[in-house]
Amino acid sequence: MLLLCFQPEQLVYVETDAAETKRLQQKIEIELKKKIAEWRARYVTRWNRYCIQAFRRLLLQSVLDLQCGLMSVV
């Protein structure tokens, strides 16, 4: 049985706009904060720079895992 491959011969990457990337990162951070605050509705959630740094590392690792196929999108 012959299996066909639908992958392109090569990937073409387009440079992204740094300002747009930063805006998207900030939007994701705000949404995460809101969702965690909703989840912890009974408690006041204090945010500090270490928490934001951890979120940024988590986001970066998630993107890298998606690119490597280690994580599935639901």
**pLDDT tens-digit profile of 16-59?**
888 998 898 889 888 988 888 888 888 777 777 787 788 788 88
What's the total number of domains in the chain? 1
Residue 7 lies in a domain: no
Phi-psi category of residue 64: left, alpha or beta, with phi > 0 → left and psi -120 to 50 → alpha: alpha
Q: Which residues contact 55 (CB under 8 A, 6 or more apart)?
A: 29, 32
Contact present, 33 and 26 (Cβ < 8 Å): no
pLDDT top residue among 66 and 61:
61
Quick one: pLDDT at residue 23?
92
Residue 48 lies in a domain: yes
Residue 19 lies in a domain: no
Q: Which residues contact 45 (CB under 8 A, 6 or more apart)?
A: 33, 36, 37
Q: Which tokens sit at 3?
A: 């299996």
Quick one: pLDDT at residue 69?
67
DSSP state of 47: -
pLDDT-derived band at 70 (thresholds 50, 70, 90) equals low
